[in-house]
Amino acid sequence: MGDGKVKGSETEDDRAGVDIWNYVFGFAKLAVVKCAIELGIADAIENQGSPMTLSELSTALGCEPSRLYRIMRFLVHNQIFKELTISQDSIGYALTPLSRRLVRRGEKSMAAFILLENSPAMLAPWHGLSALVLDGGNSPFEATNGKDIWSYAETNPDHSKLFDEGMACDTRVAVPAIIEGCPEVFDGLGSLVDVGGGNGTALSMLVTAFPWIRGINFDLPHVVDVAPKFDGIENVGGDMFELVPKADAALFKWVLHDWDDEECIKILNKCRESIPQDKGKVIIVDVVLEENKDDKLKSIRLMLDMVMMAHTIKGKERTLKEWSYVLEEAGFTRFNVKPINAVQSVIEAYP
């Protein structure tokens, strides 16, 4: 009798034998994509406006052709770039929808976000994840960098700038999804304070879409001191644990997941004090983990929860039940959740 295996079919063990190599060398894909951004490969092809031969690309980038060829072979194999026939004897490299997101100034660029998450300060903490799970204590980020992520940014201006640029990458994806998916969230608002608003990218997009809103970009002083100026937006420095500027509504985009429940409740209490009790609200743009539901972004949301473990002291992504707990403890009487075409959802909470 045979073992039941049909010749030519792939078993679970066969797949595991291949998949395990992706964990052995999984870092290579990240490293090569980072290399492509640093070299400016996507930018060069975008600026050319047409496919580029290896010779043209190596000349434009000042690269050694044979090494660049090996980089491009890897990127093409992984469908990050593609090859197109230019002439009978010539092949050119062209952009794909994925590599367009590596163009630094592209509309949907994630280049700065990739550079941020693959910077030495952000990569090193991952080596301390098991120690955190075993022993607790300080975050892996603090253990490897000597300071928590916020103090580190305050004393390292280049990292702080890259952090804000990385967050702005997500903003350029999430905010249009909010504007398109649930514009009614901003109906009737005369003013909006973006708590932890960084360089003001999110608020500038919202004020442009809803010009009747007066914006307040609120963040730590060292952040707003270098934030660009936008019409209709006031940059205000401060500490959200102490005081939140008064407005009709407060916006938190990817902020509350950085903190534990107790800290979130404290922040939300300060927010509730700053908005009108009759018509005010808090707008939270953050991940909602749906434990019994699978969709194309669930794995990304679960990865983000691991990021919170590596980079913050007590931050986490929350389930609907966990969001309900912090909002109720902070004195909010009701809330609703609106899915959008992004990793995050929109939560509206009312006093």
**Helices vs. strands in the chain: H and E counts, helices first:** 17, 11
Is 222 annotated as catalytic? no
Q: Say if residues 281 and 182 touch (Cβ distance below 8 Å).
A: no
Which residues have CB under 8 Å from 11's CB, separation 6+? 5
Q: How far apart are CA 72 and CA 93, in angstroms?
A: 8
- Which one of the listed residues 127, 159, 222, 257 is annotated catalytic? 257
Between β-strands 81-87 and 90-95, what pairing exists: parallel, antiparallel or unpaired? antiparallel
Torsion of Cα atoms, 99 then 50 then 64 then 108, to 10°: -20
Q: Residue 198 carries which DSSP code?
A: T
Q: What are phi and psi of 240, to 5 degrees?
A: -65, -15
Angle between helices 27-39 and 65-77 (to 10 degrees): 120
Length of the chain: 351
Sign of the dihedral through C-alpha 150, 121, 166, 342: negative
Q: How far apart are CA 300 and CA 343, in angstroms?
A: 7
Q: How far apart are CA 145 and CA 217, in angstroms?
A: 28
Q: How far apart are CA 319 and CA 287, in angstroms?
A: 8
Q: How far apart are CA 138 and CA 157, in angstroms?
A: 23
- What are the respective helix, strand and coil percentages of the chain, to the nearest 5? 50, 15, 35
Q: Say if residues 107 and 120 touch (Cβ distance below 8 Å).
A: no
Sign of the dihedral through C-alpha 139, 141, 146, 151: negative
Q: How far apart are CA 270 and CA 272, in angstroms?
A: 6
Catalytic residues: 257
